[in-house]
Structure 1
Amino acid sequence: MTTVFKIIPTTQKYDWGKIGSFSKVAQYAAASKLPGFTLDDNAPYAELWMGTHHTSPSRLLDSPSQEKLSNYLAAHPSLIGARVVEGFKDDGAAEGNLPFLFKVLAIEKALSIQTHPDKETARKLHAERPNVYKDANHKPEMALALTPFQAMCGFLPLARIADYLVDTPEFAALVPQAIQERFLSVASTEDSTDPKVKKALKEVFSAVMTAEASLFQPELEKLIARFKSGGAKPSEKDVRDLVVRLDSQFPGDIGVFCAFLLNHLSMNPGEAIFLAAGEPHAYVSGDIVECMATSDNVIRAGLTPKLRDVPNLVAGLTYNSAHASEHLVAPRPFQSSSHSTLYDPPIPEFSVLRAVVPAGGAESHRPIDGPSIAIVTGGRGTVEWGCREELDISEGDVLFIGAGEGVELRSASGGDDLVVHRAFVEVK
């Protein structure tokens, strides 16, 4: 039984994905000669899935029957590791299910205004509407930028929302006067965790998201016309381009007004954000690797043709308000490695390594006491392990690395850096 092997990811075509070869998802699938993949230059390639989630499971590349990764891991639990099997037995680790799902996203149009439920809410929603909420797990997630990336994440600081209520009449028109007054009376507080403050923010957000189309659509038309004619006020200039962009993609959609409620964050490659359960967000543009607990539960409320569930979204948010920087994940070196950076969010299901190995160089990763999935996002080289076993790897290849196996990444000479993103779980 080998402990390192290539697996076959799956591609997902959603309306918001980048088209054809402009998509990192399509580029990786084509470069790795993904079995059964034929590039359609007119199709939106949105996501590459790597893991064991039952919706779209990965398979073994060199298996004659292309066996499901979950079936193989169930038959060889040592590849997951005893501590991970025990620690995540309630999540099906003993049956070969990994506690994380790894993805690449290629975003042309904004994703929906959304949040993900905590475990208690996920169980409730799955029991009530299993055709919509297809599993009973929570979905904390981390997004790590491959290219320049924009997102809306978490509620703006209270004072900034108050500015918009005062300065942007089209936005204020959606919020009843009494709710505005209650919010403005607490917006200057330094304690955003105060239940009264959270209640006031919830009232504002709920008023906006439940506004009737007959109210918000004329206001949105006025807002877009004003912004396009150069009438944005100084306090609105930081959000003008985002509002116009969102309306061009989703004309007349209430989700456009979330630009006045949520942080707008621009990120460079190598920067990451973490979103816990109950945090509102929408990815706007760019390419990322994304890791999450193994779940596909999404509660949506705007900027989407898919099912919207405004009551559950409004009910399930934390109503934390803070600067966007609060969502950033501070990277740090991975132990004694020279070219690897660790992104370790505050949840047990996953961490992510980003290795950038210079041409002709090498990087060793110590044995990790849990399973890993790695994707080559740039360059080529080899991965070596055990008694001089090795695999040639290049852009788009996806690897499974078993628990307890140390590996060495070697970058080919005379070419680009070898770049590998590696998701793993390790019970501490």
Structure 2
Amino acid sequence: MSTEVVPVFKIIPTTQKYDWGKIGSSSKVAQFAVSSKIPGFTLESHSSYAELWMGTHPSSPSHLLSDVNQTLASYLASHPELIGEKVISRFKDAGASEGNLPFLFKILAIGKALSIQTHPDKATAEKLHKEQPTVYKDANHKPEMAIAITPFTALCGFLPLPKIAAYLSSTPEFAASIPPSIAEKFIVISQSPNPSGPAEKAALKDLFAAVMTAQPALFANQLDKLVQRYTNGGETDTERDVKELVLTLYTQFPGDIGVFCAFVLNYVKMSPGEAIFLSAGEPHAYISGDIVETMATSDNVIRAGLTPKLRDVPNLIAGLTYEASEPSKHLVRPAPFHHAQHTVLYDPPIPEFSVLRVEVKGGDHEAHPPIEGPSVAIVTEGYGRITWGDADPLEIRKGEVFFIGAGAGLQFSSGGGDALNIYRAYVDVHG
């Protein structure tokens, strides 16, 4: 007699320790690991807990809570109905038929700035993986979305050209680190009414390349002078909005050329619930805070500053879009989700994933209709239960992670006076 496959079940995420993570119990990653009682996890008070991974990426796959020896991917490969025919067909090249989800879901706890980085598009990822498989360990692209769960700051995308030109004019230390001919040409072209034109993009590329390839003999002394001026309160009105950022980055990465990216990239300060999306070729660096991050299933990162890790400046410079814009271009605004009362949808312009944020007040409940693709969800606050069909309810609490199979309609119920908060990443292919 065959056993009916349960469409909703708990999974075991993995924790990652990186230098930029928050320390010990101050990290949301550690807090979730402790409250959900991840098997084998022991909190180390001096360790940097940076990421919680939830998914099927082979570098650190999730396992079933009911069978800690079985990976989520192997279980889904044996039960493809949990992924759904449409998703398997759409993402067959990403290994969906082998149980691989097209997205990777994470919690990030950022205590120190991440590197100046970008992610390759699919063609570039395939090329880099073939050329440097030990550095670029898969052949997939990595568009990603970050949703703030605490106050969050980041660098994302290039500043509007006139703003960069204003920094060149007001910050002599920055200007002195760039060849005068490049700086002068950029200042002239920054007034163009067409910032996305080929000449304008070329000028931005030349400027950024000059920054990222500047020799320490050229910029290190200028960077020290800049920090000394800021420390003494000598910033101009134009510089005031980045003074704090420059001093923070310099403290964390003294003498690093990446500090000058404060004058080239948008600096955004986000409140809980706000989100940004970064497609391939968009330069960025997360600075501080706790986020829910979702991406296509990949771990490909091209780095060029603010990091002790391998820097690949040529590939970073070559792979950027050089689209200059206000930071609002990167924002993902939450939208209603069907007729749900306590859920909002973050829907970036890619097929691999969308994310739902569920906030159910104490004693209340929320229904989600069936979704044709698979989901992974985490409880970030509170406790409660999930019910579906005629099955017994599944009790859930803060930090616990669970999988939801394709086609399962759900109801979430808050179990106490506090709100039940859940983030749910899913893929839903239509047609």
TM-score by length of 2: 0.98
Equivalent residue, structure 2, for 1:401: 404
Rounded Cα–Cα distance in structure 2 between residues aligned with 1:189 and 1:50: 45
Say which of 125, 135, 154 aligns to 2:138: 135
Query: 1:423 maps to which residue?
Result: 425
Paired residue type of 2:201: K
Task: Identify the residue that residue 44 of structure 1 maps to in structure 2.
Answer: 48
Alignment equivalent of 1:167, drawn from 167, 170, 183? 170
* Residue 178 (structure 1) aligned with residue 181 (structure 2): yes
Rounded Cα–Cα distance in structure 1 between residues aligned with 2:189 and 2:224: 30
The structure 2 residue matched to 1:27, chosen from 18, 28, 31, is 31
| Other-structure match for 1:17 | 21
1:224-235 equivalent positions in 2, closer than 5 A: 224-235=227-238
Query: How far apart in 2 are the matches of 1:223 and 1:102?
Result: 39
CA distance in structure 2 between the partners assigned to 1:191 and 1:81 by the alignment: 45
- Structure 2's unaligned 5+ residue stretches are none
1:58-97 counterparts in 2 under 5 A? 58-63=62-67, 65-97=68-100
After TM superposition, the structure 1 = structure 2 runs for residues 255-404 of structure 1, keeping only pairs within 5 Å, are 255-404=258-407
How far apart in 2 are the matches of 1:186 and 1:299? Answer: 28
Residue among 148, 158, 163 paired with 1:155: 158
Counterpart position of 2:214: 211
Post-superposition CA distance 1:33-62 (Å, at most 9, x none):
000100001000000000000000000000
Tell me, in whole angstroms, the C-alpha distance in 1 between the residues paired with 2:183 and 2:110.
35
Q: Secondary structure at the match of 1:352?
A: strand
Q: Using the alignment, how far apart are the partners of 2:193 and 2:63 within structure 1?
A: 51
Per the alignment, in what secondary structure is the counterpart of residue 278 of structure 1? coil
Give the Cα–Cα distance (whole angstroms) in 1 for the partners of residues 405 and 195 of structure 2. Answer: 44
Counterpart in the other structure of 1:7 = 11
The DSSP-based 3-state class of the residue aligned with 1:325 is helix
Which deviations, in whole Å up to 9, do the C-alpha atoms of 1:165-208 show, x marking residues without a partner? 11101100121111112211210122111000000000000000
- For 2:129, which of 126, 130, 134 is the aligned residue? 126
Q: How many residues align?
A: 426
- Where 1:335 maps in the other structure, the secondary structure is coil
Per-residue CA shift, 1:309-365, capped at 9, x if unaligned?
000000000000001111000110111000000000000000000000000000000
* C-alpha deviation, 1:389, in angstroms: 2.6
Counterpart of 2:418, as a letter, is: D
Summarize deviations over 1:124-143 as a string: whole Å, max 9, x none.
Answer: 00000000000000000000
How far residue 296 of structure 1 moved from its aligned partner, in angstroms, is: 0.1
What secondary structure does 1:235 align onto? coil
Aligned partner letter, 2:55: G
SS in structure 1 at match of 2:384: strand
Shift of 1:408: 0.5
2:60 equivalent in structure 1: 56
Alpha-carbon distance in structure 2 between the residues aligned to 1:236 and 1:282: 20
Structure 1 SS opposite 2:249: helix
Shift of 1:66: 2.8
Q: How far apart, CA to CA, are the structure 1 residues paired with 2:336 and 2:54?
A: 25
- Whole-Å separation in 2 of the counterparts to 1:355 and 1:17: 26
CA distance in 2, matches of 1:190, 1:116: 29
Partner Cα distance (2:332, 2:424) in 1: 16
Identity of aligned residues (%): 63
Q: Distance in 2 between matches of 1:312 and 1:256?
A: 20
Code of the aligned partner of 2:169: V
Moved over 4 A (4+): none
What are structure 1's unaligned runs of at least 5 residues? none
Q: Aligned to 1:30, what secondary structure does the other structure show?
A: helix
Give 3-state SS (helix, strand or coil) of 2:385's partner. strand
Q: SS where residue 142 of structure 2 aligns?
A: coil
AA aligned opposite 2:367: S
* Residue identity matched to 1:92: G
SS in 2 for 1:234: coil
1:122 alignment partner AA: A
Cα displacement string for residues 197-240 of structure 1 (whole angstroms, at most 9, x for unaligned residues): 00000000000000001111100000000000000011100000
